[in-house]
Amino acid sequence: MNSTSDQDPQNPLTELDFESAFGAASPLKKTGRQTAPAFKGADILSSAARRAAAVELVQEKAALGEQGFEMLESEQNITYSRVGLDGGSLRRLSNGHMRPTLTLDLHGYRIETARDSVWNAVKHGQTEGDRCLLIVHGKAGAGYRDENGEIRGAGQALIKSHVNHWLQQLDAVLAFTSALPKDGGTGALYVLLKKAAKRG
């Protein structure tokens, strides 16, 4: 008769009893894919930062809304500058002394396509270090024919009016003004951009 004085009443099986009942135990081999994270340390932070920046850009682009939109005249001169911009910079911009290094021509564009193109040009220009853009928006549109064949909306400066409205909503834009006749006159704008933030 075996003595049970050495057995734990809470755990009646000894190691010897376990082996005789179930056989010797051995560690399982690792199989399949490992669960280690794909990114570590700084990689995780940089990936998260890139995702956050992408979301921010999409939100800013979507925020180019129509609230406060005003229709401009075809030949109307446009001048806009943010509070704090010195008068000398605005004068040099309007006099054509700051020459554009990037040009966007919006002739033939629909409103939505023009909006995306303006946003992309401003972002690209700032990323590449451009300080002055030329946006050729044109003047009056040719209009459209209604169901009766009559022309509607002729003479309305739709793209010009929208460009004026959108540029005021973009933080990267410091100022813009109608161009000199040689660059398109009231059918184009010189756009002054902020200097891009230095990359760490």
CATH number at residue 174: 3.30.1370.110
Q: What is the pLDDT of residues 128-184, one digit of tens each?
A: 999 999 999 998 766 656 678 776 666 678 899 999 999 999 999 999 999 999 999
Q: Is 29 a domain residue?
A: no
Query: Nearest 5°: phi and psi at 165?
Result: -70, -45
How many domains does the chain fold into? 1
Q: Report the distance separating Cα 141 and Cα 156, nearest Å.
A: 6
Residues of the chain with pLDDT > 90: what percent? 46
Identify whether the C-beta of residue 76 lies closer than 8 Å to the C-beta of residue 188.
no
Q: Is 199 a domain residue?
A: no
Q: Is 160 a domain residue?
A: yes
Mean pLDDT of the 63-73 span: 74
Q: Is 125 a domain residue?
A: yes
Q: Is the pLDDT of residue 88 over 60?
A: yes
Task: Return the bridge partners of 135, or none.
Answer: 104, 189
**What was the pLDDT predicted at 178?**
97
Which pairing describes strands 132-136 and 102-105: parallel, antiparallel, or unpaired? parallel
Q: Is 3 a domain residue?
A: no
User: Token pair for residue 179?
Assistant: 């161009």
Q: Is 17 a domain residue?
A: no
For residues 192 and 49, the model is more confident at: 192
User: Token pair for residue 38?
Assistant: 């794909």
Q: Is the pLDDT of residue 195 over 70?
A: yes
**What was the pLDDT predicted at 29?**
52
Q: Is the pLDDT of residue 8 over 60?
A: no
Which pairing describes strands 173-178 and 79-81: parallel, antiparallel, or unpaired? antiparallel
**What was the pLDDT predicted at 108?**
87
Identify whether the C-beta of residue 18 lies closer than 8 Å to the C-beta of residue 7.
no
Exposure string (b/e) for 156-189, b if CB count within 10 Å is 16 or more? bbbbbbbbbbbbeebebbbbbbbbeeebbebbbb
**What was the pLDDT predicted at 51?**
54
Confidence of residue 52 (pLDDT cuts 50, 70, 90): very low
Is 48 strand, coil or helix? Answer: helix
Identify whether the C-beta of residue 73 lies closer than 8 Å to the C-beta of residue 105.
no
Q: Who's near 92: CB < 8 A, 6+ residues apart? A: 98
Q: Is 2 a domain residue?
A: no
Q: Is 98 a domain residue?
A: yes
Domain that includes residue 177, residue range: 62-193
Q: Report the distance separating Cα 141 and Cα 163, nearest Å.
A: 14
Amino acid of residue 52: A
